[in-house]
Amino acid sequence: MANKEKLAQMAHLMRRAGFGASREELEERVAKGYEATVEELVNLPAKRPEDKAGPFAMVTRYHPSTLLPGGVPTLGQASWMYSMVNTDRPLEEKMALFWHHVFATGNSKVDNCDQLLEQLDMFRQYGLGNYRDMLVQLSKNPAMIFWLDNNENHRDAVNENWGRELLELFSMGVSNYTEVDVREASRAFTGWTITPKIPRLPYGRFPWRFEYKEEDHDEGEKTFLGYTGNFNGEDIIDIVVKEPATARFICRHLYNFFVADEVQVPAWTIEPARDEEALDMMMTAFEESGYEMTAVLSAMFNSDFFKNARFAKIKSPAEVVASTLRLSGSWDLPKPGIRDIGLQPGYMGQSILDPPSVEGWYTGREWINSGSLLARINFVADHVADTSLPGVQSIISDMKAAGVSSPEQLLEASLEHMGYLEVSDETRQQLLDHAKNGGDMDWGNEDDAGARVGEMLALVGATTEYQFG
Amino acid sequence: MALETVAGGRAWIYSHHVGRGSAAGEGFSTPVGVIPAKDGVLYVANRGSDTNPNQRISKVTVNHEFITEFGKTGPTYGSTEEPHFAFLTSIAMDKDENIYAADEWKNLISVFDSEGSLVRTWGEQGDGEGQLNGPSGVSMDADGNLWVVNSLNSRVQKFSPEGKFLSGFGEKGSDPGQLDMPWGMTIDNNGDIFIADWNNHRVQKFDTGGNLLATFGYGGRGPGSLRHPTGVAVDGEGDVYVVDWMNERVVIYNQDGNPLTYLKGDAVDVSPWAMKSIEANPDMQRRRRQVYDLEDQQRPFRMPVACAFDQDANRLIVCDTQRNRLQIYEKDMNYQDPQFNL
């Protein structure tokens, strides 16, 4: 068996680069090695092998209404959550969540979950690729065009919404451009629109498609960030990606999402980064590779600052729900009631596919309030204490096989199965005091022993420390 | 407008479609099964949705008449009654027009008469003889016995109409004769059994003893290949129709397993029920006029799940699941191509 430190390190990687992993998976990955696992996670085969059904086929088979949920976001949310839980390409799915945080697009306005699911597919396809290509795809993405009104951006009537957010929230960040730059960027994206779609009645939603309307494009000269020319949208993106501010902005987002909690985005112009040295290293990898996400992700996951950042960030609600369902194995097969798993992150403050605004969500400690904390704890407890669930049964079997006997061993094994969680001395003592109430484990009475394991897992899930990932 | 798909001396001529999206009455909710009865009557299994529990069986005609619906759920309509179906997967019909419906979550077979009254239910979850484990496909044989395929343990079993186990075969795997998460099934005029072997991307034909007779398709996107086939039907001449779910088409093979052609969907028209929705919403109508390739967009199947062949009417009916409609084709076995250089 791999040693505990390596397993803990791998658990950290899989929490961040995915949605957690079972003990069995951790042991398999430790056997492969840390760097090899990073390589496997980051450099995926371009396409999923089609021999067996993946999460999309499974959820669509059992819940066909999740394919084109239209204006019913809960079905789209459920479909995505099912994918997060069951994906065999964890970083691809995690990057989709990352880009959804950064390029936040919401059903509250789009009112068309089909298009948001299509946007997610685009994030999956391009999310681990080149950032410039991603921005081009984003500029042509129908949900984004509608979300930020670029379909209302005309040659003779410029709408600056998309142009502004491209600079402010999707690339450079505020203070790195002028209002004139916003105007000029917006002019360059005139004519980037979507075709009229067949309306929702009577056969359900049909897709919007990107359309470039040359006759609606402003062909005039533009001056943007000091460059002058007859720019079109891709020219603007080419200029934007080369700006040092862009590398810093995207890498700071990556750091905040994957490494450790930062201050909120609006404070980035006044607050230094949590780890400037780490940020420099990530920016170098990003820029020297020509803005390849795989390069910066590989450098980040293999860095000491990442390896030393265990439990340095508070799990987002989507991470809490997906990792708990993955651990408990309660949604391997789609079943009735799937809408609930899509709604759960919303109860904790993160309604996926429906962020509060184009700014996305505030993260870190902003995830926690008295209501959301209770929702997180109850959700985790409901699952890990349910000894009928296959993932929990597997943990119980593992503990039995390992000869877990004393209260100390029960606590230690529970912390390990909950992600090699590190707890304070005070928390440890409280948990241990509870474990001691039951005395040594009596595996002769399997139901009682299982219940004690479930109870201890639930208590671990209720600790302050477990809110960190 | 008639659209013709021609291969091997026969043609499949698009006739029209029936349906629209509707939680009740004149329309369907993700239809996943269809059975033709006499006089153009169709029974349609609606899978429904997790947010709007409208699982039900609709009884309609090919001429757009809504007759009745049954097996409906309660809560949507103000009742506290539990939904009858959880995961309605497929339906079969006996000679008295009783409808047998499989629920793959409840592991239950429900039998309704032609008026929609529940006659009986049976089924017990498990992997043993006569037990159900995710029943996903049902078909009635000429003797009036019901064949059921279990998706989760790959068993194919024959039951009396009352649910008495009579025989069975099948095991999970990907070798010839094995099944992996099978879905739909049908029985041809010779009594042979065709199973849509969903996760193995093929249809397999067995005799009633479980001996493998033929295989149709293989994984892929090219002509004759399949990706997650869901349904299968056989016509009187032995042509085999496979609903190629992930490739969004119906692949047609001859009885030897050679692919003839495929249908991608041809719903260029608007059904009368659908027209009611459009005409009641002037903005919808106006917006439709702005879509320059409306017919091309509206035409194709969107992840269809099932099909059936009405041998009396020589008619293929395809459940165009995501578009909540049934696309109907007529088969012409004596097709004569028009002069080419007209």
DSSP tag of A401:
H
pTM for this one? 0.96
Q: How would you classify the pairing of strands B88-93 and B99-103?
A: antiparallel
Domain boundary (A272, A307, A342) is at: A307
The answer to whether residues A267 and A173 touch, using CB atoms and an 8 Å cutoff, is no
Residue A47, chain B, CB below 8 Å: the answer is no
**Closest to B56 (Cα-Cα) out of B94, B95, B26, B18:** B26
Number of compact structural domains in chain A: 2
In a domain, A261, yes or no: yes
Angle at B133 between CA B127 and CA B139, to 5 degrees: 115
Residue A281, number of CB atoms within 10 A of its CB: 18
What is the distance between the alpha carbons of residues A66 and B50, in angstroms, rounded to a whole number?
9
In a domain, A442, yes or no: yes
Contact residues, B window 221-240, toward A, CB-based 8 Å cutoff: 227-228, 230
Partner residues linked to B35 by β-bridges: B43
Tell whether A403 and A303 lie within a shared domain.
no
In a domain, A68, yes or no: no
The answer to whether residues A167 and A176 touch, using CB atoms and an 8 Å cutoff, is yes
Identify the helix (H) or strand (E) that includes residue A211: strand A210-212
Residue with tokens 């590190």: A422
Where in B81-179 does DSSP place strands (E)? 88-93, 99-103, 108-112, 118-122, 135-140, 146-150, 156-159, 165-169
The answer to whether residues A255 and A267 touch, using CB atoms and an 8 Å cutoff, is no
ipTM over 0.85: yes
What is the distance between the alpha carbons of residues B313 and A341, in angstroms, rounded to a whole number?
45
Residue B48, chain A, CB below 8 Å: the answer is yes
Inspect the interface and report whether the beta carbons of A64 and B219 lie closer than 8 Å. Answer: no
Residue B324, number of CB atoms within 10 A of its CB: 23
Q: Looking at chain B, which residue has its C-alpha nearest residue A53?
A: B199
What's the pLDDT at B180?
Answer: 97
The two tokens of residue B150 are 């279990």
Tens digits of per-residue pLDDT, A21-61? 999 999 999 999 999 999 999 998 876 556 788 999 999 99
The two tokens of residue B245 are 């779910």
Using CB atoms within 10 A of its CB, is residue B31 exposed (0-12), middle (13-18) or buried (19+)? buried
Tell me which residue range forms the domain holding A428: 385-467
Instruction: Give the type of residue at A325.
Output: L
What's the pLDDT at B339?
Answer: 86
pLDDT at B191 over 70: yes
Residue A252, chain B, CB below 8 Å: the answer is no
Domain boundary (A276, A307, A338) is at: A307
In a domain, A365, yes or no: no
pLDDT at B342 over 90: no
The band of A103, judged by pLDDT with boundaries at 50, 70 and 90, is very high
Laid out side by side, the sheet with B88-93 consists of: B88-93, B99-103, B108-112, B118-122
In a domain, A248, yes or no: yes
Name chain B contacts of A206, Cβ cutoff 8 Å. 297-298
What's the pLDDT at B8?
Answer: 83
What's the pLDDT at B81?
Answer: 66
Average pLDDT over residues B68-95: 80
The band of A2, judged by pLDDT with boundaries at 50, 70 and 90, is low
Name chain B contacts of A199, Cβ cutoff 8 Å. 281, 283-284, 287-288
Inspect the interface and report whether the beta carbons of A51 and B219 lie closer than 8 Å. Answer: yes
In a domain, A107, yes or no: no
What is the distance between the alpha carbons of residues B5 and B316, in angstroms, rounded to a whole number?
13
Tell whether A396 and A272 lie within a shared domain.
no
| Lowest-pLDDT choice from A65-79, A344-358, B241-255 | A65-79
Tell whether A397 and A292 lie within a shared domain.
no
Chain B interface disruption, residue of A48, A58, A60, A61, most B CBs within 10 A: A61
How close is the nearest chain A Cα to the Cα of B304, in Å? 10
In a domain, A266, yes or no: yes
Domain boundary (A239, A272, A307) is at: A307
DSSP secondary structure string for all residues of A15-46? HHHSS---HHHHHHHHHH-HHHHHHHHHS--S
Residue A426, number of CB atoms within 10 A of its CB: 9
Tens digits of per-residue pLDDT, B112-131? 999 999 999 999 999 999 99
What is the distance between the alpha carbons of residues A9 and A15, in angstroms, rounded to a whole number?
10
pLDDT at A65 over 50: yes
The closest CB to that of B278, out of A57, A68, A201, belongs to: A201
Tens digits of per-residue pLDDT, A271-293? 999 999 999 999 999 999 999 99
What is the distance between the alpha carbons of residues A421 and A436, in angstroms, rounded to a whole number?
20
pLDDT at B72 over 90: no
How close is the nearest chain A Cα to the Cα of B8, in Å? 31
Using omega within 30 degrees of 0 as the cis cutoff, is the peptide bond preceding A407 cis? no
The band of B80, judged by pLDDT with boundaries at 50, 70 and 90, is low
Tell whether A186 and A291 lie within a shared domain.
yes
Inspect the interface and report whether the beta carbons of A202 and B21 lie closer than 8 Å. Answer: yes
Average pLDDT over residues B215-220: 96
Contact residues, B window 125-144, toward A, CB-based 8 Å cutoff: none
Tens digits of per-residue pLDDT, A216-250? 999 999 999 999 999 999 999 999 999 999 999 99
Residue B305, chain A, CB below 8 Å: the answer is yes
Q: Looking at chain B, which residue has its C-alpha nearest residue A199?
A: B284
Tell whether A140 and A268 lie within a shared domain.
yes
pLDDT at A258 over 90: yes
Tell whether A389 and A301 lie within a shared domain.
no
Inspect the interface and report whether the beta carbons of A202 and B277 lie closer than 8 Å. Answer: yes
In a domain, A61, yes or no: no
Residue A205, chain B, CB below 8 Å: the answer is no
Tell whether A285 and A399 lie within a shared domain.
no
Number of cross-chain residue pairs from A and B with Cβ atoms under 8 Å apart: 110
